[in-house]
Structure 1
Amino acid sequence: MRAPSCLVAGAGFIYRRVIVKTNFVVNAEARTLQGTGASRRLRRTGKVPAIIYGGKDAAVSVSLDHNELWNHLKTEAFYSHILTLKLNGADQQVVLKDMMRHPVKDTILHLDLQRVLADVLLRMHVPLHFTGSEVAPGVKVGGGIVEHHLNQVEVECLPKDLPEFIEVDLSKLELNDIVHLSQLKLSAGVELVQLKHDNDQSVAALHLPRAAAAEEVAAAPVAADVPAANQKAPVAAAAAPAKKDAKKK
């Protein structure tokens, strides 16, 4: 049975947002030739140069199949998931740390993959999934709109605790309410990196549209003029005494 999913656009792809965890398998081949020329020749054959680093082993240069990788990248969870990398008949657990795309064609030019160890804390960027905005009182009754300030957050946790996404419930928001990082519900063992640095950023806010806010300001009652009796008269500048002409003897 296929996992339930929905579609969401972003970063040049129509992502398939998978509801349950998926096991991503990436097949790799070791490569010895390095340099710009070797990478170009590799890409012409439908391969993507990549490097695997981290853990207790030395960095290894590999190549990946572009079409297989392209299909994986259409699924949002691939970016924040522990991946199974198959190399030389052995499996390694890795995460995607960096990716370079062609500026025009949007094809994949290079990948950085980091090995993960079960007992070593990992830092990863995890997407935010916003829910409930359509039923928020500030939207339904107050006529406001929700503005997203972040679409992902950096988390620190053990590999087994890595979430595919973090849900942000907006269903209770009133007008002018703001959701901060400290209000996000995290699973056990997961911490937000920004909060460790005392940076409680705004995640989302609900406010009136600009046009409506401008009309509200324009309709506000104008303060009454201050009575003339209570106004302070401007202080007149003291006139310098005129010099008297010296009398001629």
Structure 2
Amino acid sequence: MVQTIRIEASARERAGKGAARATRREGKVPAVIYGAKKEATLIALDPRDVMKELQKGGWQSSLYEVAMDGSAERTLMRDVQFHPVTDRPLHVDFQRLAPGQRIRVRVPVQFENEGTCPGIKAGGVLNVVRREVEVMADPDNVPAAFEIDLAEAGIGDSLRWSAVKDAFGTKAVIERDFVVATIAAPTVQVEEAPPPAAPAAPAAPAKGAAKAPAKKK
């Protein structure tokens, strides 16, 4: 299930570019919490906490409990702006979650029994069309990954959304039974025949060799 991570924050009083620059001069990352039909909350974060989440990956599918002044907001980290040269985080957007609200998240796809897959053993190649699937999900029931079993997949087979073993009550954003992966046939390389050899040129007469006498007319 999706992980809930607690992150500490402090309040910011003013909005705007000037106030954000002042927050950065203090060694903090300006951020905002919005959504759930409430006023936006301006906050500042420790840059080390932000970088820790970005470096470990999966932050777009994690739940964040942003703690500030004795209270906490349940949120998703929706966007991070980076410095164009240093790649340091400049601003973070959090989406506040309302009670009962379903969230839109990307969940990675994993494949089971790849080593024993009949199609792969026959020389086929696993062609992954979607490494992640975007779904609407209950915040408390977001899977860490979707699993697809390749135990019976042969060359030419398509593995679709319906092949996911357990969707955990999620609903795919795409409403059709879309392809997640295929078992592609092996690529056969045809060797071209070498071009025919050119006929050998007649040998030049040796230097100083006697010429044949001319015929009398």
TM normalised by structure 1 equals 0.67
Write the distance in 1 (CA, Å) between the matches of 2:44 and 2:18: 15
**Structure with greater contact order relative to length (CA < 8 Å, sep ≥ 6):** 2
Deviation at 1:93, TM superposition (A): 1.0
Change (3 A) 1:202 1:27: same
Write the distance in 2 (CA, Å) between the matches of 1:130 and 1:35: 46
> Which among 24, 30, 43 is matched to residue 62 of structure 1?
43
> Which among 175, 180, 183 is matched to residue 203 of structure 1?
180
Change (3 A) 1:182 1:102: farther
Give the corresponding residue for 1:148. 128
Give the corresponding residue for 2:163. 183
Point out the structure with the larger helix share: 1
Give the corresponding residue for 2:99. 118
Give the corresponding residue for 1:166. 146
CA contact (8 A) 1:53 1:115 kept: yes
Q: Could you tell me which runs of 5 or more consecutive residues in structure 2 were left unpaired when the two chains were aligned.
A: 193-217
CA contact (8 A) 2:137 2:171 kept: yes
State the Cα deviation string for residues 187-223 of structure 1 (Å, max 9, x = none): 442111112xx3x3321122134xx24549x9xxxxx
> Which among 2, 5, 14 is matched to residue 33 of structure 1?
14
Write the distance in 1 (CA, Å) between the matches of 2:145 and 2:82: 23
Deviation at 1:82, TM superposition (A): 1.9
CA contact (8 A) 2:143 2:168 kept: no
1:102 aligns with 2:83: yes
Task: Indicate the RMSD between aligned Cα atoms, in angstroms.
Answer: 2.5
Write the distance in 2 (CA, Å) between the matches of 1:67 and 1:26: 11
State the Cα deviation string for residues 22-58 of structure 1 (Å, max 9, x = none): 4411111111233333323433443222111112421
- Which amino acid letter does the alignment assign opposite residue 108 of structure 1? P
Change (3 A) 1:106 1:30: same
User: Sequence identity of aligned pairs in percent?
Assistant: 32
- Which amino acid letter does the alignment assign opposite residue 165 of structure 2? K
CA contact (8 A) 1:96 1:111 kept: yes
CA contact (8 A) 1:144 1:206 kept: yes
Give the corresponding residue for 1:11. none
Write the distance in 2 (CA, Å) between the matches of 1:143 and 1:66: 48
CA contact (8 A) 1:117 1:159 kept: no
1:90 aligns with 2:71: yes
Q: How many residues matched?
A: 192
The equivalences for 1:42-61 within 5 A come to 42-61=23-42
Deviation at 1:79, TM superposition (A): 2.5
Q: Could you tell me which runs of 5 or more consecutive residues in structure 1 were left unpaired when the two chains were aligned.
A: 1-19, 219-249
Change (3 A) 1:179 1:43: farther
- Which amino acid letter does the alignment assign opposite residue 178 of structure 2? Q
SS in 1 for 2:8: strand
The equivalences for 1:126-145 within 5 A come to 126-140=107-121, 142-145=122-125
TM normalised by structure 2 equals 0.76
Change (3 A) 1:41 1:163: same
CA contact (8 A) 1:127 1:153 kept: yes
1:192 aligns with 2:172: yes
Q: Which has the larger radius of gyration?
A: 2
